[in-house]
Amino acid sequence: MKRIALGLALLLLYACSQDPQESTNNNVDATEQEQTDGWVHGAMATAANPHAVAAATEMLEKGGHAVDAAIAAHAVLGLVEPQSSGLGGGAFLLVYERETGDLDFYDGREVAAAGATVDMFMRDGQVMSFVEAWQSGKSVGVPGAVALYQYSHEQHGRLPWADLFAPAIRLATDGFEVSPRLAKYLPMMEERSRLAKNPDTAAYFYPGGKALQVGDLLKNPDYAETLSRIATEGISAFYTGEVAESIAASAQAEPNGGTLTAADMEAYTVSARPVICGAFRDLNICTTSPPSSGGAQIMIAALYDHLSADAAGPMDKISAFVDAQRLAYADRDHYFGDPDEIDIPLDDLLNPEYIRHRATERIAPAAVPTPGDPVMVLHGEPTANRWSPDTTEEAAGTTHLSIIDADGNAISMTATIEGFFGSQRWASGFLLNNEMTDFAREVPADGSRPANAVAPGRRPRSSMSPSMVFDANGDLMMVTGSPGGNSIPAYVAKTIVGVLDWGMSAQEAVDHPNIIARGENVRVEISVDPGQAIASDLKEKGYNVQERDGENSGLHIIVVGPDGLDGAADKRREGVVRTVQKGQ
Ligand code: DON
């Protein structure tokens, strides 16, 4: 599996590489690297919580690989940022090995239980509301994060397995202070969800019937116990036995229980999938293939390149970015799903000739963008009608980590439990995901099916798009990714275009107003400068603009620049960036 992934990634990388002397890119200190044949920039970690970044840097200081740091950091995030991701959820991990140039994508996405059915979210011909589906046991998929830890550690890890869990076990045992973001969501969740009603989550998040407050010391002995067992016994302590049984029992619990069983848990496997790369000028954007939506990053950047070619100024570049998103989202929505189950014309969607053609299908600003037909354009065979229109509805609990280790190896990892606090169902010290609501829940009565329909054993489509950019020499120049549900492709694309075309630093690109153009509306974050000016310009150009007071991005990115590593954490969440100097 690994060799196949590497083969494809490398083929695409080298197909776009060119002689170092001809490179026009001056963002990377390639000469110094060539001279030393080593990594001179030190290590860096950025993630959504300071405790998680401290766990990552603890591993990096011990000489750990970026993968060791990612596992340690994510085990901490599952504790201190339980609303966003954890052991009960899934993740996508993109890993770069600097010495070999290898790139791997490990898919730890949740899988539908064997008992899942295409119409499990339908009742009397009507689709269940998102809120009902979200907190139902049907929404719980087999969690993949823990299997992903083991799989990636076997391939890349340097530190002993058990050491990776020490920071999280320490924090869970000794306690940690409840963060403002965690505290902020609890009253809202009390009103809108079952978090304060399900006995285990009520006892943990609302002790004595009162929501936890900022600064409260929170301990989680069950989490410490589960992690200690994983640390000493390996992942069989999670996928079989008591923990697996507690997950199945929680998913099956009434009201509105699901079908997930201990046998589903035992059957879980990580998938090593192809990394996909595509050119942006003389650079290469590499990202995760379906069921991830990484491909949308390549499409947005390539479409933007065509559409912005005649831009008269910065505002025209923004509308080109908007149009690129609208076209790419329409294709993503229509064609992406589980690649093991459906035939996705991915190569054709990413083909530069199709992209060139698609860029000419510029859609009127207020119109609903329709999907293109890459197979028709390239091979004369209509295929868009193979699938019915997408009905997937995605809501906002996910997190992103970017890490570069002291040898220049890197990870980009987006991890999720789907909605805030996942399904609000609890097992062995952690929340269970509601990832199955990432499927198209509505089933067309005419028997047609969207590409992202539910099926047993299937992985739902994901918007998560961990990505990396490489320069013309094939050297790493950027690691990026974000949470944010179906806005993820827009958030991440903003950092890629912002750094590579708008001349921004990592922090400037993260801070820039988010602009999300999916369907007939364009959302603009006006609470951040120059959001209001962008919104006014787009309105004048005829777009349906929705002004937003804030956006839920959680961009954690690292740019490899001439002066070393330039990292950024998204001020919209609670993240930090920390550097570790080589040899520390
Ligand atoms: O995999 C997905 O696309 C979604 N489950 C991600 C949800 C998300 O990012 C929520 N973020 N705040």
Q: Which residues pair with 578 in a beta bridge?
A: 45
Query: Distance (Å, rounded) from C-alpha 308 to C-alpha 323?
Result: 10
Q: What is the pLDDT of residues 472-515, one digit of tens each?
A: 999 999 999 999 999 999 999 999 999 999 999 999 999 999 99
Q: What is the pLDDT of residues 447-472, one digit of tens each?
A: 888 889 999 999 999 999 999 999 99
Q: Which residues pair with 280 in a beta bridge?
A: 283
Judge if the beta carbon of residue 484 lies within 6 A of ligand 1. yes
Structure-block tokens of residue 209: 């019937």
Which helix (H) or strand (E) element contains residue 584? none
**Strand pairing of 544-548 and 521-525?**
parallel
pLDDT, residue 363, reads: 83
Q: Which residues pair with 103 in a beta bridge?
A: 96
| Greatest alpha-carbon span in the chain | 69
pLDDT tier, 6 (very low <50, low <70, confident <90, very high otherwise): very low
Whether the predicted pLDDT of 25 surpasses 50: no
Kindly give the distance from the C-alpha atom of residue 396 to the centroid of ligand 1, in angstroms, as a whole number: 6
Cβ–Cβ under 8 Å, residues 496 and 502: no
- Pick from 371, 396, 365, 368: nearest CA to 383: 371
Q: State the Cα angle at 529 between 525 and 535, rounded to 5°.
A: 50
The one catalytic residue among 259, 261, 392, 398: 398
Judge if the beta carbon of residue 81 lies within 6 A of ligand 1. no
Sign of CA dihedral 257, 262, 267, 270: positive
pLDDT, residue 563, reads: 86
Judge if the beta carbon of residue 259 lies within 6 A of ligand 1. no
More confident residue, 175 or 563: 175
Judge if the beta carbon of residue 552 lies within 6 A of ligand 1. yes
pLDDT, residue 46, reads: 98
- Pick from 77, 546, 8: nearest CA to 274: 8
Q: How many CB atoms within 10 Å of residue 470?
A: 23
Kindly give the distance from the C-alpha atom of residue 419 to the centroid of ligand 1, in angstroms, as a whole number: 7
Query: Distance (Å, rounded) from C-alpha 175 to C-alpha 183?
Result: 15
Cβ–Cβ under 8 Å, residues 359 and 301: no
Q: What is the mean pLDDT of residues 293-303?
A: 96
For residue 284, the SS3 value is: strand
Cα–Cα separations (whole angstroms), residue 371 to 88, 278, 319: 34, 20, 19
Q: Which residues pair with 523 in a beta bridge?
A: 516, 546
Cα Rg, the chain, nearest whole Å: 22
Structure-block tokens of residue 562: 């001439």
pLDDT tier, 229 (very low <50, low <70, confident <90, very high otherwise): very high
Query: Can you tell me which atom of ligand 1 is nearest the CA of 554?
Result: 12
What would the DSSP string read from start to end of 70-132?
HHHHHHHHHHHSTTT--TTSEEEEEEEETTTTEEEEEEE--B--TT--TTTTEETTEEPPHHH
Which helix (H) or strand (E) element contains residue 533? helix 531-540
527 DSSP 8-state letter: T
Whether the predicted pLDDT of 220 surpasses 60: yes
Q: What is the pLDDT of residues 405-425, one digit of tens each?
A: 999 999 999 999 999 999 999
As a residue count, the chain comes to 584
**pTM of structure:** 0.92
116 burial via Cβ count (<10 Å: 0-12, 13-18, 19+) = buried
Q: Which residues neighbour 207 within 8 Å (Cβ) at sequence distance 6 or greater?
A: none
Kindly give the distance from the C-alpha atom of residue 185 to the centroid of ligand 1, in angstroms, as a whole number: 17
Q: Report which residue type is found at 584.
A: Q
Helices and strands in the chain: count of H runs, count of E runs: 21, 22
Percent of the chain surpassing pLDDT 90: 85
Cα–Cα separations (whole angstroms), residue 420 to 107, 193, 483, 542, 573: 22, 10, 12, 34, 14
Cβ–Cβ under 8 Å, residues 510 and 575: no
Q: Does 414 participate in catalysis according to the annotation?
A: no
Judge if the beta carbon of residue 483 lies within 6 A of ligand 1. yes
Structure-block tokens of residue 3: 């060799």
Kindly give the distance from the C-alpha atom of residue 439 to the centroid of ligand 1, in angstroms, as a whole number: 12
Q: Which residue puts its alpha carbon closest to atom 10 of ligand 1?
A: 396
Burial string for 4-37 (b: 16+ CB within 10 Å, else e) reads: ebbebbbebbeebbeeeeebebebbbbeebeeee
